Structure 1
C-alpha cells in the first residue's frame, strides 16, 4: 500500500506522501489524469502550508468576539490549521449553538467546558461546516459531556441530522441561516448571523492567507454568492476575525482571476515540447523560493482543470503538457 492514497466519503486514508505520487509515481505525474493530479496536489498543499503562511497573529484560546459570539480555539495549531480550528459559541441565552468542534484535542473540550460552566449555559445544537477531521472529531467529546446536544451537518453521518441550504437555526439572541457553498469541500456550509449581518465562512475564507479548495470553478461560484449574503464581519474557520467580510471575499476572487490570466499568458508563449504544469509554475513563481513551487503547482493544476472544462486549454496525456485551444505544441 506504500505510496497509495485511498479517498472515500468523509475520510482520507493517507498511506503515502502526495508529493511522492505527484513526482515519483510509476510513469511520473504526467501519466495521471488532470483531476487526480489536482486532488493529490490539494493534499500536498495542505501539508506544505507552513512554507507559504505569513506570520500568524496571536489569538487567545477563548475570546468573546461580540455580545453573541465566543470563539474557542481547537487546541490544534499546525501548519495548515493556523492558530487552530475556530469553534464558535453563538447566542445570548442559557441554551446556545456551537459551530464546529475541532479535531478532538483534550484542550478544546476542557476550554469549552470552562466557558459553558462560567457562563452557566448549555449547547443545544452543534452545526458542522464540513467533513474535515479538524472540524468534526471533537463531536464524541462534546456528546460525552452533553449527550442531549443535536448534531447537524450537510450530507450527515447516520446518527446526525442534515443541514439544508437556507435552513434557519434560532436561539435566544441569534438567528443563523445555512448557506451551501461547496468549494473547499463538496459539503461545505457557511452560516449568516442575521443580527450582526455577519457570516461564519468556515474554510472557504480564512482569517489569514488563502484557502485551499477541491474544485476551482465551484469555489469561485461559491465565493461570488457568499459575498452577496452579508455586509459585515466574517468569522472564519481558521485565523482572526475579518472586519470587512465581503471585501475580503472579493480579494480572494480577484487573486484567483489574476492567477488564471497569468496561466493563459504563459500558455500563449511558444515553448519547445509544450508546457507542463511545473513549467508554468516556474514562470509565474520565478521570484519565489523553489520550495514553494510544489505547493504552488496545486493552484496551477486547479486553474488548468477549470480552463480545460471551459474549453480554453487542452491536455496531452502522452506528453503531460498543456496548450491553448487552437495552439499546438512545438
Structure 2
C-alpha cells in the first residue's frame, strides 16, 4: 500500500508539496502541486482541480506562513485536475501570476478557456523560468497529452514529471509513439529524483523510467502474442484487456482499453496487425499486412 501523502510537505528548502485533495481512481491520493523557490516570489507547478476548498485553504496557509507571492503558475498539461484550480487561485491566493502552459498544437492560440482577465503565456522546449533559489527548465514531452511538459529543477537535478511518470502504477497516454519518445527523453535527463503529478516521490528514478519503457514494450508483445495465437479471430480492445490485464482491478479496465487501443493503432501503422470492421465495430487480427480502419 502506498505511503500516505500529507496535505502539506516541506520536501526541501526549495520545494513545498501541497496535495490537491482530489483523490480518485486516476488521480490516486490527489494531484500533487509544488511551490518552488527560496525567496519572496515562488513558482507553483500545477494548480489542482477547480473548486476544491480544502486544497485552496492548504495552499493559502502555506503562502501566508511562508510570506511568499506566487509569481508564476506552470501547468504541466491541460487536464482539469492540473489546470482547473487556476480560476480559484488567480487574483486571490496568487495575486497576479503569469500562467504558463505549452500549446496543444502549433497553430492553436486559445487551447485553454480561462475566464478573463486570465491569459496564458506559452512555454517552449528548453525554456528556463527562474525565481530566487530555483531554475526550472522546460522539456516538451508529448504522449500523455500533446501539450505535456516535464520540468527539471537545475539546482537539485529533480524532475517534476506531471503525468508522464507517476509515483505508483503506470500512466495513460493519447499517443504511444510520442509517449515512448518522451520516456526515452526523460531517461537521457538522468534525474536524481522524480516528483510526480500523482503519487509519492520516486527516489530511484532510472529503474522506474526503464520499467515504464519495458512495460509498454511488454504490453505490445502480449497483444501480438494473443493475436498471433488466435489467427483468424478478431478482438476488440476490451477482449484483449480481459485476457492480458488479469491482475488489474476491473474498475481500471476502461483506462487499460484506452491504452490497448493506442498499442493497436501503432501496430496497425507498422502492419503487424490488421484492423477489420465487423458489424460496424473495429476489431484486430494478426496479419503481415494491414487494412485501413477509421482509428
Give the structure-2-normalised TM-score. Answer: 0.86
Instruction: State the Cα deviation string for residues 12-63 of structure 1 (Å, max 9, x = none).
Output: xxxxxxxxxxxxxxxxxxxxxxxxxxxxxxxxxxxxxxxxxxx442111000
State the 1:315 CA deviation.
0.3
State the 1:286 CA deviation.
4.8
* CA RMSD of superposed structures (Å): 2.1
CA contact (8 A) 2:70 2:95 kept: no
Larger proportion of helix: 1
Query: Which of 201, 215, 219 is the equivalent residue of 2:179?
Result: 219
Work out which structure has the larger RCO, using CA pairs closer than 8 Å and 6 or more positions apart in sequence. 1
Provide the C-alpha distance between the structure 2 equivalents of 1:322 and 1:204, rounded to a whole number of angstroms: 28
Provide the C-alpha distance between the structure 2 equivalents of 1:308 and 1:327, rounded to a whole number of angstroms: 9
Which residue matches 1:280? 240
Residues 30-179 of structure 1 mapped to structure 2, 5 A cutoff = 55-104=1-50, 105-145=52-92, 146-155=94-103, 157=112, 159-179=119-139
Query: Which of 151, 159, 174 is the equivalent residue of 1:191?
Result: 151
Provide the C-alpha distance between the structure 2 equivalents of 1:295 and 1:99, rounded to a whole number of angstroms: 25
Which residue matches 1:242? 202
Unaligned runs of 5+ in 2: 104-110, 114-118, 291-295
Provide the C-alpha distance between the structure 1 equivalents of 2:224 and 2:191, rounded to a whole number of angstroms: 33
> Which secondary structure state, in structure 1, belongs to the residue aligned with residue 192 of structure 2?
coil
Which residue matches 1:325? 287
Q: Does residue 201 of structure 1 match 2:161?
A: yes
Q: Provide closer, same or farther for how the CA distance between residues 107 and 192 of structure 1 changes in structure 2, counting only shifts above 3 A.
A: same
Instruction: State the Cα deviation string for residues 203-246 of structure 1 (Å, max 9, x = none).
Output: 01111111111111111111111111133100100111111223
Aligned length: 274
Give the structure-1-normalised TM-score. Answer: 0.77
Which residue matches 1:43? none
> Which secondary structure state, in structure 1, belongs to the residue aligned with residue 159 of structure 2?
strand
Instruction: State the Cα deviation string for residues 102-124 of structure 1 (Å, max 9, x = none).
Output: 01311112111111111111111
Instruction: State the Cα deviation string for residues 138-160 of structure 1 (Å, max 9, x = none).
Output: 11221121332111111264811
